[in-house]
Every structure is written in C-alpha cells, then in structure tokens.
Amino acid sequence: MKVEAEAGRQGRWIAGDSEDENRSQEFSELKPYYDQLTALVAAFSKQVAVIQGGAEQAPAPKDTEWVLLKVIKWKWSEPRWTGPYRVTERTSHAVRLDGKGDTWYHWSICRASDPPAGTRGDVKWSVREQP
C-alpha cells in the first residue's frame, strides 16, 4: 500500500487500514452487479441450449464397444488420438482397454469409434487372393 510505494518493499499489514476498508467497500458495492451478471449469463445459456435443440451431450459411452484414446503428451507430427481399442471393462466414469494393461482411463479422454476395418495382414491376404 503506501509503504510499498514509498519504500519499495512490502510493509506490515495494520488492522483497520483505511485503504483495505475502502477496497472491501468497493467490492461490496459491486456484488449485486456481479450477481445480476451471473444470472443473466445463466439465463442466456439456457436460451441458447433451447434454440440449438438442447444441451450438447456426448454419446452414451456405455454402449460403445471400441474407443479412441486421446494422447496426453501430444506432438504436432503425431496423431492426436490412438486406437481403436476394445473396451474390456467399464464403470460410470472410467474404462479399461484391451492391450493397455490394468490402467483405467476416464471417459473424458476417450471417444467412441468404429471397429477397426482390418489389419495389414488382412489386406495382404485379400490382395493375394485376387486373380
């Protein structure tokens, strides 16, 4: 406050400092404005959700058999998602994937996916079988 400006260092806080009282009075005057603004944003968000056809919801993960897993330490030259992985176990918040060990992954880093179309070995065999 004044000590900081004059001495260039932090001063000790003294109870009943008039500058702190003024600051708390300013905040108490702004509280009704903040409350009205928060209510307005909440009402506007509901209106936008109604116009867009309801709140956006992620697809139900409980029905998903295959998922893509988001890469946490992502580099620009690598894909953002890996997989697809088969879901072996699931809870309301997490999933365990085949080929990823005993680790549980939160649904927020998983995305529903189609089953894999085929492996490279399948493609090689199908090419060889053609006349």
The strand pairing partners of 66, in sequence order, are 86, 113
Distance from C-alpha of 124 to C-alpha of 126, rounded to nearest angstrom: 6
Rg over CA atoms, the chain: 28
- pLDDT of the residue at 121: 59
The percent of residues above 90 in pLDDT, for the chain, comes to 7
- pLDDT of the residue at 52: 64
Whole-number average pLDDT of the chain:
75
- pLDDT of the residue at 20: 61
- One-letter identity of residue 31: K
Q: For residue 29, name the pLDDT band (cuts at 50, 70, 90).
A: confident
What's the pLDDT tens digit per position in 73-112? 888 888 889 888 999 988 888 889 988 889 899 988 888 8
- pLDDT of the residue at 13: 58
Residues 6 or more apart whose CB falls under 8 angstroms from that of 85 comprise 66, 67, 68, 69, 97, 98, 99, 100
Whether the ω angle into residue 79 lies within 30 degrees of 0, i.e. cis, is no
Question: DSSP readout, 35-93?
Answer: HHHHHHHHHHHHHHHHHTTS------GGG-SEEEEE-SS--TTS-SEEEEEEEEEE-SS
Q: For residue 127, name the pLDDT band (cuts at 50, 70, 90).
A: low
pLDDT of 41 > 50? The answer is yes
pTM of the predicted model, to two decimals? 0.45
